[in-house]
Structure 1
């Protein structure tokens, strides 16, 4: 430590007593940084990584998955066309509904379609890349191979024979939000069809006109008419040539054929030709059904497209019983046959 010394001649000088001057805190910090800057840098980097890495590689993927799970896919139009025994062409338009404030890029991926609570997929789709914004429209148009015939048959039966149903899109694909690294998310999205989701057992099916043919026909038909089928969904289905078994109280009375049946959204009208058992029908109106009104039960029999049977549609049609009332006496009168059978009066409903 320094001190001032006065000499005999009156002059003064400063002497150091050998005790070092104590460094201040700032000097110590400065000296430490100069000597151990590399260690401080490593510690800083480690702290940043400990904080940032969990956010980027744990928090970010978890948030991405959460936001994807909240999204809803609404089908605005869907078409199943050009059917084959093991495939079909699918065209659909969908709209993404989301309230998320994040709008990442969703990479294209291969997705599988499932019925609710069913593990096997009935088909696989190539889902295109989209930006996840509310109202984003996605279009798919591709040939689809049926992955599991049992499941696809269940799907067609569900579409035809239930009031409502759900299908699920599953898969795994990439997601990227802005400058953040790409992550992967799992899809298990419930798909909702706009309006009614199913054909509701073809309720409203009806025979709106019926005529007895008195001349010989090449196809053997002895009757024709018009059948109406309402479709309350956004789904269009091409089923090919469909045949329908007709019966009254379990007794077969004929087979009806509809050529090139394409069931489109809205009300559909189809020309129908039938081969009926006229002897059985006439016997009925003279015995159990003297009013001339026959309660006809209808069950699908076959569905053929390009000369190939479509088993998945046939089973769906066979599982769905339809009915309508047919005024046979009115049809006989229009054909000029009522008088020949001794029938003078009737009511008319078809």
Structure 2
């Protein structure tokens, strides 16, 4: 009796045929393939690591770091300019950097250049900073307080004068703080080059708008014949220690009628009061007081324009400050007629002309 070949069939209870045998054969083939070609998979993995990891380290992380730095905001809390000399001054800046706290990093110390942005326009390649300032190393967080104080050399007089002119005469002044530095992201043992660049708009002195003079006294002497208390508002975050100042004094925007003096002029945020005195040429003033409608008023208000002439600090002339103060005339209206009437015990009459 001949034997028949038997083929085993594993059936499920529902009558379907199982593929266990076929699956087992495929699994063995797959294991054999991996065993034979494992080196290919390792090579591919190595290539991926060699390409992707450097891209992350050298491209993605630096771009992310620069992007986070660009998104940060620089707030200037206060600036103190003091100890002015012909070739230097002392500057202290209190500031806060507001940033995304999601990435922890260290920004290395760097030298920052501070530029004037004329009308908010970025400085061109030929622009020179009016100050160079050293910024310390800081650790990133949601709000980083950065306080720095140092002596600043006057390296470009024209740039410094241009900044001070806008600071003293305009309502706002725009500056850029810029410098190349390095940043280290937490978890990566290397520094990446980045550029710190922040544009900041600051409230300026606005031509000393709101200046006034009270407690006016006049005399018939040829010199030192006027004095009073000058009130100068400072709406800025600047404390500006200017020094001993001499001002040209123009009557109604016309003739120069003498010189005025303010000693130890230091502008602090808020209201500032100083003693002011002057050597006034009396003829033009008396003529103006005798003209209508000035002579018809009890106060006899006259408007003068003060323009910076000389600035001295510790016996040293400070031309870069004097030039800035002369670029804009500060107008002040004073009740000179009432002061003259008090001094003469008689009111200046209206002229017939």
Q: State whether TM-score is above 0.5.
A: yes
Query: Which digits, 9 at most, give the CA deviation of each residue in 1:30-70, with x for residues without a partner?
Result: 3555xxx5x76454322212111101110100111111111
Question: Aligned partners of 1:26 and 1:103: how far apart in 2?
Answer: 45
TM-fit CA distance, 1:213: 4.3
**What is residue 323 of structure 1 aligned with on the other side?**
331
Aligned with residue 129 of structure 1, among 133, 137, 140: 137
**What is residue 45 of structure 1 aligned with on the other side?**
46
Query: Which digits, 9 at most, give the CA deviation of each residue in 1:279-309, with x for residues without a partner?
Result: 3322332356534332222222221112222
The answer to whether the 8 A contact 1:75-1:192 is kept is no
Aligned with residue 268 of structure 2, among 264, 270, 288: 264
Change (3 A) 1:284 1:338: farther
Aligned with residue 179 of structure 1, among 169, 183, 187: 187
TM-score normalized by structure 2?
Answer: 0.81
TM-fit CA distance, 1:131: 1.4
- For the pair 1:190 / 2:199, whether they are aligned, the reply is yes
Query: Which digits, 9 at most, give the CA deviation of each residue in 1:177-223, with x for residues without a partner?
Result: 11113211112211344xxx21111110111221124679xxx4122
The answer to whether the 8 A contact 1:294-1:326 is kept is yes
- For the pair 1:207 / 2:213, whether they are aligned, the reply is yes
**What is residue 142 of structure 1 aligned with on the other side?**
150
Secondary structure, aligned partner of 2:172: coil
TM-fit CA distance, 1:322: 1.9
TM-fit CA distance, 1:29: 3.1
The answer to whether the 8 A contact 2:250-2:257 is kept is yes
Secondary structure, aligned partner of 1:284: helix
- Unpaired segments ≥5 residues, structure 1: 1-22
Residue range with higher mean Cα deviation, 280-289 or 41-50 = 280-289
**What is residue 19 of structure 1 aligned with on the other side?**
none
**What is residue 301 of structure 2 aligned with on the other side?**
293
The within-5 A match list for 1:26-37 is 26-33=31-38, 37=39
Question: Aligned partners of 2:303 and 2:348: how far apart in 1?
Answer: 21
TM-fit CA distance, 1:104: 1.1
**What is residue 226 of structure 1 aligned with on the other side?**
229
- For the pair 1:273 / 2:282, whether they are aligned, the reply is no
- For the pair 1:334 / 2:342, whether they are aligned, the reply is yes
Question: Aligned partners of 2:57 and 2:218: how far apart in 1?
Answer: 76
The answer to whether the 8 A contact 2:286-2:348 is kept is no
The answer to whether the 8 A contact 2:173-2:204 is kept is yes
**What is residue 109 of structure 2 aligned with on the other side?**
108
Residue range with higher mean Cα deviation, 229-238 or 320-329 = 320-329
Residue range with higher mean Cα deviation, 300-309 or 120-129 = 300-309
* Number of residue pairs aligned between Structure 1 and Structure 2: 310
